[in-house]
């Protein structure tokens, strides 16, 4: 229902080529984050020697290490670089290099926290698939040989999500401790957690209330995605480099519209995407009755029988492909899709305008421009 | 299924009288923890202005502030006092007093974390009542005017539990930061989180596997309760006072048997307690089929038709009072109850023996003796 927003591709971004050096650095950062997460999780041994507990730990590790596009770590990294953070040189002392790695470790912590959120999200939504594979609670329910496997899967997933969030906290404490910069980053991380969880709360409320108001749907997006996925990771990275308030605000002006455009693209893909590419069944969003901005526009514009069809089938668990095709026709026909595509273009433009006004290192500006393009135009 | 262990009374402990000064101090600490939690939660305003979000925040505040017996904060406090932590004197500088309050703030953080665990616990168990009132997910489902109220209640409770845990972390960071003592306390807190969540994981596994092995049930208790409820809070308090490793180990020798006895008492109350006193329906544990040590003994000793009855009705959602009475007769008749009562007495004795060997301040020894009595002999 919420932060799957989160989980769309940035892989393409890291392809070396078009943007040369910046793309190569981005790719290298991805690799360092992956390595860090794998090392951190490998070191976590269950305190009890039970093979089924070990299997739970293993599933969590796999979920974190094998999946995810590292959007937040990359934004954290480039936020840091933009604020004057410098890559270590090989000829510097190991201690200096470790200090410079704070932005990458912090990014890894953001990713681990995010994994915890996603695991809970899938339990709340009852989702079957993520990243083209069974979700954690489905995987646990499916492999267990016991009665009550469904309930076990859900409970175990709640616990593994909690564990991932606790561990994220430990990883962050390693990177964001001690000095004023660390404390500033930590403070932003704290705010981010409250914001995203409250945004998710607003999202499930909108679902329960069958809310179809465009403004309220945009508020949900702002908290559960725009701040969480873009603004805060950028600012957290910046804080680690000792950025002044003016730069944090500039990142906000860039990050909020980009995050909004990112989520709107996600909503469009949730209804019109190719499941072979997105890794998620394309009927899920419509069957779940997600209260997206796209659907709010459709509700606002549909009249008569089309409105009735929306009300009947949006959120119907037995929605089939034929009915889904009708809903899509309504979404297109009412102009809701066009409205959202227009909004995505507008927000992406606002983000790029704000970026041009940011006084940041040129490589960072180049990287963030590249990320803007990819996050708003992606197909998965 | 798990940490409700947690939620039994210590109120009686705080009655001034029998143990004079120590009881009065204990009561005062309880009051300071309550005040701290109320102040902390009052300061948390939702980042979005939605009345239903505000209602969620309010429910969480009420759950934390109005309920709970503050067992962990009291153990943290007395662990700190035992290790040489000193109460502030009124004539000392405000800064010194603040530093001395670390043990109380840390205790409040433990309580807030615990509230988050309990909220999740009740979702996992599908529990209706806690502390004589509807559980968070039931309360949210009951007051909501929407379709899908049950699902909303569960999802909202998952989010509020996550929020409580994140905030606990912030509260702890305020108290356990900076110096070596704070870092040591934080390290123990981190271990505690992994242990309790893994213990809960083991608990739901035992449930799913319909495990009836006494040794494995004791392992569950050790992680989900003995370390979590007693050993770690004592050690965390001690670490804040700069305790040497020898004292941390002594607290472990005292805390583990006490925590085990505490949970065993909880298991007995879950089947034989008076719901008017415990605040929980007395059929819940039997209906849920909790895999307690008490039940493991009953399974191990029951033969023939009694064993069949246990297998049929332990964990049956339609268990009625008549069948429950039969199960209780089996638990008593097989000697399982006697076995557990004997184990409680044994562990309480071991705890008191270990306490006598602890080189700690006399008031702390007196307070911990008092707590041992109450935690193992309580009726709720």
Residues 121-150 of A with CB under 8 A from B: 123-124, 144, 146-149
Query: What is the three-class DSSP state of B129?
Result: strand
Task: Judge: A202–B124 Cβ closer than 8 Å, yes or no.
Answer: no
Task: Judge: B207–A56 Cβ closer than 8 Å, yes or no.
Answer: no
pLDDT value at position B177? 76
Substitution target in B51, B145, B198, B206 with the highest count of A β-carbons within 10 Å is: B198
Task: Judge: B204–A156 Cβ closer than 8 Å, yes or no.
Answer: yes
pLDDT value at position B9? 37
Q: Residue A371: CB partners within 8 Å, gap ≥ 6?
A: A10, A13, A74, A75, A78, A258
pLDDT for residue A328 is more than 70:
yes
Closest by CA position to A224, among listed A237, A207, A210:
A207
- Give the pLDDT mean for A186-196: 96
| Burial class (CB within 10 angstroms; exposed 0-12, middle 13-18, buried 19+) of B43 | exposed
pLDDT for residue A55 is more than 60:
yes
pLDDT, tens digit (0-9, with 9 covering 90-100), for B182-237: 999 999 999 999 999 999 999 999 988 888 899 999 999 999 999 999 999 999 99
Substitution target in A160, A205, A311 with the highest count of B β-carbons within 10 Å is: A205
Residue B379 belongs to a domain: no
pLDDT for residue B380 is more than 60:
yes
- Give the pLDDT mean for A359-368: 94
Which of A206-220, B155-169, B304-318 is predicted least confidently? Answer: A206-220
pLDDT value at position A93? 53
pLDDT for residue A286 is more than 80:
yes
Substitution target in B166, B175, B203 with the highest count of A β-carbons within 10 Å is: B166
Closest by CA position to B77, among listed B32, B143, B142:
B32
Substitution target in B58, B122, B136, B159 with the highest count of A β-carbons within 10 Å is: B159
Which of A86-100, A122-136, A184-198 is predicted least confidently? Answer: A86-100
Q: Residue B191: CB partners within 8 Å, gap ≥ 6?
A: B232
pLDDT value at position B43? 95
The whole-chain average pLDDT of chain A stands at 89
B165 to chain A: which residues are within 8 Å by CB?
A: 162, 165-166
- Give the pLDDT mean for A44-73: 93
Spell out the SS3 assignment of chain A. Answer: CCHHHHHCCCHHHHCCCCCCHHHHHHHHHHHHHHHHHHHHHHCCCCCCCCHHHHHHHHHHHHHHHHCCCCHHHHHHHHHHHHCCCCCCCCCCCHHHHHHHCHHHHHHHHHHHHHHHHHHHHHHHHCCCEECCEECHHHHHHHHCCCCCHHHHHHHHHHHHHHHHHHHHHHHHHHHCCCCHHHHHHHHHHHHHHHHHHHHHHHHHHHHHCCCCCHHHHHHHHHHHHHHHHHHHHHHHHHHHCCCCHHHHHHHHHHHHHHHHHHHHHHHHHHHHCCHHHHCCCCCHHHHHCCCCHHHHHHHHHCCHHHHHHHHHHCCCCCCCHHHHHHHHHHHHHCCHHHHHHHHHHHHHHHHHHHHHCCCCCHHHHHHHHHHHHHHHHCCC
Residue A278: CATH number of its domain = 1.10.600.10
pLDDT value at position B144? 67
- Give the pLDDT mean for A328-335: 97
| CA closest to A219 among chain B residues | B48
B144 to chain A: which residues are within 8 Å by CB?
A: 208
pLDDT, tens digit (0-9, with 9 covering 90-100), for A249-283: 999 999 999 999 999 999 999 999 988 888 778 88
pLDDT value at position B16? 37
Cα(B8)–Cα(B280) distance, rounded to whole angstroms? 10
pLDDT, tens digit (0-9, with 9 covering 90-100), for A152-176: 999 999 999 999 999 999 999 878 8
The whole-chain average pLDDT of chain B stands at 89
Q: How many domains does chain A have?
A: 1
E strand or H helix at B324, and its extent? helix B321-333
| CA closest to A144 among chain B residues | B208
User: Per DSSP, what are the bridge partners of residue B129?
Assistant: B134
Query: What is the three-class DSSP state of B141?
Result: helix
pLDDT, tens digit (0-9, with 9 covering 90-100), for B23-71: 999 999 999 999 999 999 999 999 988 999 999 999 999 999 987 889 9
* Band (B94; pLDDT cuts 50, 70, 90): low
CB pairs < 8 Å spanning A and B: 135
* Band (A334; pLDDT cuts 50, 70, 90): very high
Q: State the residue range of the domain holding A248.
A: 3-377
Asked if the C-beta of A289 comes within 8 angstroms of chain B's C-beta atoms, the answer is no
Cα(B59)–Cα(B177) distance, rounded to whole angstroms? 30
pLDDT for residue A2 is more than 60:
no
pLDDT value at position A9? 37
Structure tokens belonging to residue B140: 């949210």
Which of A318-322, A364-368, B93-97, B287-291 is predicted least confidently? Answer: B93-97
pLDDT value at position A8? 35
pLDDT, tens digit (0-9, with 9 covering 90-100), for A136-149: 999 898 876 777 88
Closest by CA position to B37, among listed B98, B95, B115:
B115
Residue B260 belongs to a domain: yes
Asked if the C-beta of B249 comes within 8 angstroms of chain A's C-beta atoms, the answer is no
A68 or B72: whose pLDDT is higher?
B72
* Band (A17; pLDDT cuts 50, 70, 90): very low
pLDDT for residue A92 is more than 60:
no
pLDDT, tens digit (0-9, with 9 covering 90-100), for B307-353: 999 999 999 999 999 999 999 999 999 999 999 999 999 999 999 99
Task: Judge: A198–B152 Cβ closer than 8 Å, yes or no.
Answer: no
- Give the pLDDT mean for B231-259: 97
Task: Judge: A204–B155 Cβ closer than 8 Å, yes or no.
Answer: yes
User: What are the backbone angles phi and psi of residue A129, rounded to the nearest 5°?
Assistant: -130, 145
Shortest alpha-carbon distance between residue B12 and chain A (Å): 33
Task: Judge: A48–B198 Cβ closer than 8 Å, yes or no.
Answer: yes
Q: What is the ipTM of this complex?
A: 0.91
Task: Judge: A201–B156 Cβ closer than 8 Å, yes or no.
Answer: yes
pLDDT value at position A94? 52
Residue B358 belongs to a domain: yes
Residue B380 belongs to a domain: no
Asked if the C-beta of A207 comes within 8 angstroms of chain B's C-beta atoms, the answer is yes
pLDDT value at position B143? 73
In this structure, the dihedral spanned by the alpha carbons of residues A328, A331, A332 and A335, taken in order and rounded to 10 degrees, is 180
């Amino acid at each position: 229902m919420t932060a799957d927003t989160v989980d769309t591709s940035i892989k393409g971004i890291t392809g070396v080529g078009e943007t040369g050096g910046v793309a190569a650095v981005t790719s290298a950062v991805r690799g360092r984050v992956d390595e860090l997460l794998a090392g951190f999780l490998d070191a976590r041994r269950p305190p009890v020697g039970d093979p089924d507990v070990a299997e739970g730990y293993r599933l969590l590790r796999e979920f974190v290490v094998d999946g995810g596009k590292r959007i937040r770590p990359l934004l954290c990294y480039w936020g840091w670089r933009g604020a004057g953070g410098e890559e270590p040189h090989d000829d510097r002392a190991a201690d200096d290099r470790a200090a410079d790695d704070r932005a990458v470790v912090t990014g890894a912590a953001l990713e681990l926290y995010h994994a915890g959120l996603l695991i809970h999200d899938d339990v709340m939504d009852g989702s079957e698939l993520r990243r083209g594979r069974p979700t954690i609670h489905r995987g646990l329910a499916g492999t267990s040989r016991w009665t009550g496997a469904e309930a076990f899967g859900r409970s175990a997933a709640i616990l593994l999500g909690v564990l991932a969030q606790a561990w994220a906290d430990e990883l962050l404490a390693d990177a964001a401790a001690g000095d004023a910069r660390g404390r500033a980053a930590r403070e932003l991380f704290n705010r981010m957690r409250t914001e995203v969880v409250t945004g998710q709360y607003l999202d499930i409320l909108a679902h329960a209330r069958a809310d179809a108001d465009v403004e309220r749907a945009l508020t949900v997006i702002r908290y559960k995605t725009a701040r969480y996925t873009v603004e805060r990771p950028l600012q957290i990275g910046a804080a680690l480099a000792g950025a002044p308030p003016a730069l944090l605000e500039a990142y906000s002006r860039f990050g909020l519209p980009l995050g909004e455009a990112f989520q709107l693209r996600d909503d469009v893909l949730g209804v019109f995407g190719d499941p072979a590419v997105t890794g998620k069944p394309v009927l899920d969003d419509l069957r779940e009755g997600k209260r997206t901005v796209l659907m709010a526009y459709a509700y606002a514009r549909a009249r008569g029988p089309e409105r009735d069809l929306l009300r009947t089938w949006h959120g119907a668990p037995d929605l089939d492909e034929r009915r889904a095709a009708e809903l899509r026709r309504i979404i297109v026909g009412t102009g809701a899709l066009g409205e959202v595509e227009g909004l995505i273009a507008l927000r992406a433009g606002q983000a790029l305008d704000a970026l041009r006004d940011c006084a940041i290192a040129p490589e960072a500006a180049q990287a963030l421009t590249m990320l803007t393009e990819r996050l708003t135009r992606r197909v998965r």
